[in-house]
Each structure stands twice: as C-alpha cells, then as structure tokens.
C-alpha cells in the first residue's frame, strides 16, 4: 500500500458519555493522531442484533432510528472532512 492512499478514522462504539471509560477512550484516541468521526451511544440494539446475525441496516427504522442518526452524522463528517464518497 502506498503512503497516503487510504484514509482512516475512528468511531467509538457503544460509548456512554457519562462514564470515566468514555473520558479514558477520548484521551486514548486523541493520542492516535487519527480523526474521530463520532461516538455511538451505548445501546443493547447492537448486542441483540448481532446475536441474531443482523445489523442496524436490516431492521425496521422505528426500532433503531437513534442509532441510524448517529451513523448518518459520522458519515457526514467523513464526507465533509475528507471529501470521501460513500
């Protein structure tokens, strides 16, 4: 792989912003010198869907609307910061 041909960003998964672990994660990620695209909230949706071999992209929107909105915001950051096409 040639240097500069791929862009990498970080998405924090199942992060509860009210916890010490979220603070520790934020400090750790700052040291990586990578863009933080967002943090996804701590929800059982990911756990329950994975247990059934599913993702948030294949269930009814009403069940996971908050999760989808967080993913949309992260995607917008990718597009705006790096002019990447999704």
Q: Answer yes or no: are the C-beta atoms of 75 and 86 closer than 8 Å.
A: yes
Separation of alpha carbons 75 and 5, rounded Å: 19
pTM over 0.85: no
Q: Sign (positive/negative) of CA torsion 54, 56, 57, 60?
A: positive
Domain ranges of the chain: 10-82
For the chain, 86 residues long, give each residue's pLDDT as a single digit of tens: 456 667 777 888 888 878 898 888 888 888 888 887 778 878 888 888 889 999 888 888 887 888 888 878 777 766 666 554 44
* No. of helices (H) and no. of strands (E), the chain: 3, 2
Q: Identify the CA nearest to 67 among candidates 86, 44, 84, 51.
A: 44
pLDDT at residue 46 in the model? 82
pLDDT at residue 51 in the model? 93
Give, as one character, the DSSP assignment of residue 4: T
């Amino acid at each position: 792989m040639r240097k500069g041909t791929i862009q990498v960003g970080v998405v924090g998964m199942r992060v509860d912003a009210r916890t010490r672990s979220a603070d520790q994660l934020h400090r750790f990620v700052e040291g990586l010198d990578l863009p933080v695209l967002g943090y996804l909230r701590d929800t059982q949706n990911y756990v329950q869907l994975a247990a059934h071999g599913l993702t948030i992209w294949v269930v009814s929107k009403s069940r996971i609307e908050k999760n989808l909105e967080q993913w949309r915001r992260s995607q917008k950051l990718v597009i705006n910061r790096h002019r990447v096409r999704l």
